[in-house]
Chains A and B, each alone.
Chain A
Amino acid sequence: MSLKSLDPRVGRLHISEQEGNLETPKGVLDQFETYEAFVQVKEGKSLDHVGPVHAPNEEMAFLFAKEQFTRRGSFCNALCIVKTENILMSEYSDNKISVYDAVVTNPTGIITEEFEIFHLFKRGKQHRYIGTVNALNFDDALANSKVFYPSEKPVYNVWVVNSKDILTSDDDDRDIWDTLKEKQYREAIDYKGQDLIKAYKEKIAQD
């Protein structure tokens, strides 16, 4: 006997009572690893962290992030993906104290790796891309970043990513976002009902 539903799609799933009652616990990593996504909405605007996706690999993470984080708006200029594991994170500071106050070493001057730096300027907001540093390792990257990207506002957290660990959308693929501004049906502005309400009230008043 299959599950009957008001939803014809559910009817087509042909869910037997037995199947519908079966609970099979998920194994570890059934939902894969996570990747953090960053979006630059428009040329000239900042590249900001938008959130994580669960994905089996980088390619899939890109496909997923594109729809989860850039299916709205008018433009998207670039989308970047980093496996969460590859994001090195500083401590958090708070109360107008910058995390850089605790960075006391000087840059080593040894330029073996290239790192990308992200700053959190307010707890509760998203990390923002700041720029590249050439450094020896994570600690050296922070030391470099303190010197090369000084900030008047306190920085509450820093993410450091080795440049080779970032997947960035191809410039040639920007056309996948071409029709974004056409999708008005997803925007509140496309739904204006006041005229109908007004007409209805007038009709009621007349009757």
Chain B
Amino acid sequence: MYGGGNVFESMKATALADEDPIKLAEFEARIDRGEKIEPKDWMPQLYRKQLVRMIEQHAHSEIIGALPEGTWITRAPGFKRKLALMAKVQDEVGHGQLLYSAAETLGKSREQMLDDLVSGKSKYSNIFNYPAFTWADSCFISWLVDAGAIVNQVANSKGSYGPYCRALERICAEEAFHLKYGHHCVIHLATGTKIQQKMMQEAVTRWWPPMMHFFGPSDKISVHSEILMKWKVKMASNDECRQQFLDMYVPKIWELGLELPDDKLRKNPETGQWEFTEPDWEEFKRVINGDGPCNKERLAVRRIAEERGRWVRKALLAPNAKYVAPLA
């Protein structure tokens, strides 16, 4: 699961000027034709750097994203929910695997990416720095955070980089189950007993502000993002994604009798745009830079998992092993 709102590298003014103009023209023509770029193709440094960062952040978001829902994996009520949640959390790890592999084709090793995650150097989707207090919180995440991620993923699946597209195709197929499962859980709680309804409403109230942060701040149009859009690296603006999400899901939330903690939230009948209270971007910045409720825990858990598994990996490594990056 991943929401965009990621920080793109700031571009050096002369970066593109250093690139071979003929190769650059061929590269751009290929993208304009709608043909995908594959790992062995020539690509501008900026394209490679931005993509590695984007795909890597997406991968980290999946691995860390497994943790808030995993909070409830041992406590899911009933067989149906138990099996489904086990499968869903497994899928997040699976998506991480697919995405790291895609990023690897661009030249960064999985070892380096995992190191950058646990050191805090690389970022992941901020929403996972919040705690899943109740079963209903895990249901909110399964439905609406996944829904947000799908908006982003569907957009990116039309991007230009072959390996990322292939990974996203598999991911989107599995997300269909996640979305349905999450919605199913929320419907049951929201239309269930008084206790269930209260649990769900409280979770919604808690998670709505981080959800509004999910797609990131308004991106100012710059030369930078224009080039990334031309290269089909950035496929939709943060605002566009947020509007799409609100349009698809606020009515579905309201139809269950759930209230959202924003009096301003409404669809403007004239503009067709959703209006809302501007999210607190200072909080967003604070949390993404380490000061959220769960940042420490998320990274500590990942560190421990890597550390305690070290003896296993060391034992299995063949002495004559030689690394070759995945091909596609």
The answer to whether A and B belong to the same complex is: yes
Binding site for B on A (CB under 8 A): 3, 5-10, 13, 15, 19-34, 36, 49, 51-54, 56-57, 60, 68, 72, 83-85, 87, 89, 91-92, 94-95, 123-127, 157, 159, 185-193, 196-197, 199-201, 204
Q: Does B23 contact A (CB under 8 A)?
A: no
Question: Are B301 and A13 within 8 A (Cβ)?
Answer: yes
Question: Would you call the interface of chain B mostly helix, strand, loop, or mixed?
Answer: helix
- A60-B316, A193-B187 known; A19 vs B323 contact (CB < 8 Å): no
Complex: how many Å from CA A84 to CA B84? 33
**Contact B80 A27, beta carbon cutoff 8 Å:** no
Known: A22-B303, A196-B188. A34 touches B325 (CB 8 A): yes
A51 touches B80 (CB 8 A): no
Count, chain B residues at interface, CB 8 A = 76
Q: Is the CB of B327 within 8 A of A23?
A: no
Given A60-B316, A124-B162, A200-B191, check contact A9 B73 (CB 8 Å): yes
B180 touching A196, Cβ below 8 Å: no
Q: How far is the CB of A113 from chain B (nearest CB, A)?
A: 21
Q: Does B74 contact A (CB under 8 A)?
A: yes
- Contact check: which of B41, B97, B166, B316 meets A92 at CB < 8 Å? B41
- The 9 closest A-B CB pairs, nearest first, are A20-B300, A124-B36, A52-B326, A56-B316, A191-B180, A200-B191, A7-B71, A26-B111, A191-B184
Of B70, B110, B174, which contacts A72 at CB under 8 A?
Answer: B174
Q: How far is the CA of A62 from the CA of B304 in the complex (A)?
A: 27
Specify which of B109, B187, B325 is in contact with A197 (CB 8 Å cutoff).
B187
Of B8-16, B113-121, B261-269, the one contacting chain A is B113-121
Find out whether the CB atom of B322 lies under 8 angstroms from the CB atom of A85. Answer: yes
B183 within 8 A of A: yes
B328/A49 in contact, CB under 8 A: yes
The minimal Cβ–Cβ distance linking B303 to chain A, given in whole angstroms, is: 6
Residues of B within 8 A of A189 (CB): 180
B267 to chain A, nearest CB (A): 20
Q: Give B166-186 as 1s and 0s: 1 = Cβ < 8 Å from A's Cβ atoms.
A: 110010001011011101100
- Complex: A24 Cα to B255 Cα, angstroms: 49
**Is there contact, CB below 8 Å, between B326 and A34?**
yes
Q: B257 is contacted by which of A23, A54, A94, A204 (Cβ under 8 Å)?
A: A204
Q: Name A3's contact: one of B165, B179, B300, B307 (CB within 8 Å).
A: B300
**B101 at the binding interface (Cβ < 8 Å):** yes
A24 to B302, CA, bound (A): 12
Chain A neighbourhood of B256, CB < 8 A: 197, 200
Q: How far is the CA of A28 from the CA of B109 in the complex (A)?
A: 9
Chain A CB within 8 A of B133 CB: yes
B36 adjacent to A201 (CB under 8 Å): no
Contact with A along B214-254 (1 / 0, CB 8 A): 00000000000000000000000000000000000000000
B286 / chain A contacts, CB cutoff of 8 Å: none
CA of A20 to CA of B110, assembled, Å: 21
- B80-125 residues with Cβ-Cβ distance < 8 A to A are 80, 83-84, 87, 94, 97-98, 101, 104, 109-112, 114-115, 118-119
Contact B297–A3 (Cβ < 8 Å):
yes
Q: Least Cβ distance of A88 to chain B in Å?
A: 10
Residue in chain B with minimal CB distance to A199 = B191
In the complex the two chains form, what is the Cα distance from A54 to B220 in whole Å? 39
The CB with the most chain A CB atoms within 10 A, among B170, B174, B300, is that of B300
Question: Does A33 contact B323, Cβ atoms closer than 8 Å?
Answer: yes
Determine the distance from Cα of A29 to Cα of B217 in the docked complex, in whole angstroms. Answer: 38
Establish whether residues B111 and A28, one from each chain, have CB atoms under 8 Å apart when the complex forms. yes
Extra pairs beyond A60-B316, A200-B190 (8, CB < 8 Å): A15-B301, A24-B306, A30-B317, A52-B101, A57-B318, A87-B327, A95-B33, A197-B256
Q: Are A6 and B131 in contact (CB under 8 A)?
A: yes
Would A13 and B318 count as touching, CB distance under 8 A?
A: no
Q: Are A33 and B321 in contact (CB under 8 A)?
A: yes
The answer to whether A85 touches B324 (Cβ under 8 A) is yes
Separation of A54 and B177 alpha carbons in the complex (Å): 26
